[in-house]
């Protein structure tokens, strides 16, 4: 579970073709990073996969099924937002449970999932606190917990660490990589930070102006960048 295929996907905003026809396969269980400069279309691509934005043409398949016209909730994916999207007046428990409450899930099952996510994220001792009583890293873990309880086939992260300070960011990178190992689920992670891409990815997708310049492992991109853009962006010697 967690295979995502984009086939000749395009996106226009008015006259601007932000994503020209694009093909991409994201394999089951892979940690894939979309990297590229600001404005190159990383968030748009992620939002198209999530269904938060309609594609202009093409097809999206998730686990072999056409998902092109499915609403976000039916895609089995979970988007992780930055921690400031938490509800300040709700406890950690209620924040994590929120998407399941909205889906009217059985309360016993909600408790089971919230406690499971809290355990994976080392948040068990903080379930009754409010976000304001947590550190920045703990708040980011709550935001991730909200995605975990939905048991998605893939997690979508859009620059989740960009509002954390540098030291915390390094720690959270490692936590997210650990989480990927524990859950063994597809993750797509958007960043403009080359170091983040090189240290976290199984596979990197380098984007420029909506075009995929290269797809490969960090080592492949470092050793054999396809062009000077990739070389310059990854910091390898071409």
> Minimum distance between the CB of residue 42 and ligand ADP, rounded to whole angstroms?
4
Which 30-89 positions form the footprint of ligand ADP (CB under 6 A)?
36, 38-44
Which chain residues interact with Mg ion by CB under 5 A?
43
CB 26, min distance to Mg ion, A: 18
Contact mark string toward ligand ADP, 171..190, x via CB under 6 A: --------------------
Rounded to an integer, what distance in angstroms lies between the CA atom of residue 10 and that of residue 21? 5
* Number of neighbouring beta carbons within 10 Å of residue 78: 22
Q: Which entry of Mg ion, ligand ADP, none binds 40, CB below 5 to 8 A by partner kind?
A: ligand ADP
Residue 131 CB, shortest distance to Mg ion, in Å, is 23
- Do the bridges between strand 203-208 and strand 31-35 make them parallel or antiparallel, or are there none, so unpaired? parallel
Contact indicator for 114, 127 with CB cutoff of 8 Å: yes
For residue 91, the Cα-to-chain-centroid distance in whole angstroms is 24
218 near ligand ADP (CB under 6 A): no
DSSP state of 81: P
For residue 18, the minimal CB distance to ligand ADP (Å) is: 4
3-state percent helix, strand, coil for the chain, nearest multiple of 5: 40, 25, 35
Site residues for ligand ADP per CB under 6 A? 13, 18, 36, 38-44
């Amino acid at each position: 579970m967690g295979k995502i295929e984009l086939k000749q996907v395009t996106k226009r905003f008015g006259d601007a073709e932000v994503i020209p026809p694009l093909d991409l396969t994201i394999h089951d269980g892979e940690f894939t990073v979309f990297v590229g400069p600001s404005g190159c279309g990383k968030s748009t691509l992620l939002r198209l996969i999530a269904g938060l934005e309609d594609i202009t043409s093409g097809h999206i398949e998730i686990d072999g099924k056409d998902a092109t016209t499915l609403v976000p909730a039916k895609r089995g994916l979970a988007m992780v937002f930055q921690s400031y999207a938490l509800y300040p007046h709700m406890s950690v428990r209620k924040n994590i449970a929120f998407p399941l409450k909205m889906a009217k899930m059985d309360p016993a099952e909600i408790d089971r999932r919230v406690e499971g996510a809290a355990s994976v994220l080392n948040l068990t001792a903080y379930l009754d606190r409010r976000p304001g009583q947590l550190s920045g890293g703990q708040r980011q873990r709550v935001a991730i917990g909200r995605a975990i309880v939905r048991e998605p086939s893939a997690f979508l992260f859009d620059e989740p660490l960009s509002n954390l300070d540098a030291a915390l960011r390094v720690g959270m990178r490692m936590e997210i990589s650990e989480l990927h190992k524990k859950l063994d689920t597809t993750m797509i992670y958007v960043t403009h930070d080359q170091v983040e891409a090189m240290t976290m990815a199984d596979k990197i997708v380098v984007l420029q102006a909506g075009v995929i310049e290269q797809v490969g492992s960090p080592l492949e991109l470092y050793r054999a960048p396809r062009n000077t853009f990739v070389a310059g962006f990854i910091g390898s010697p071409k």
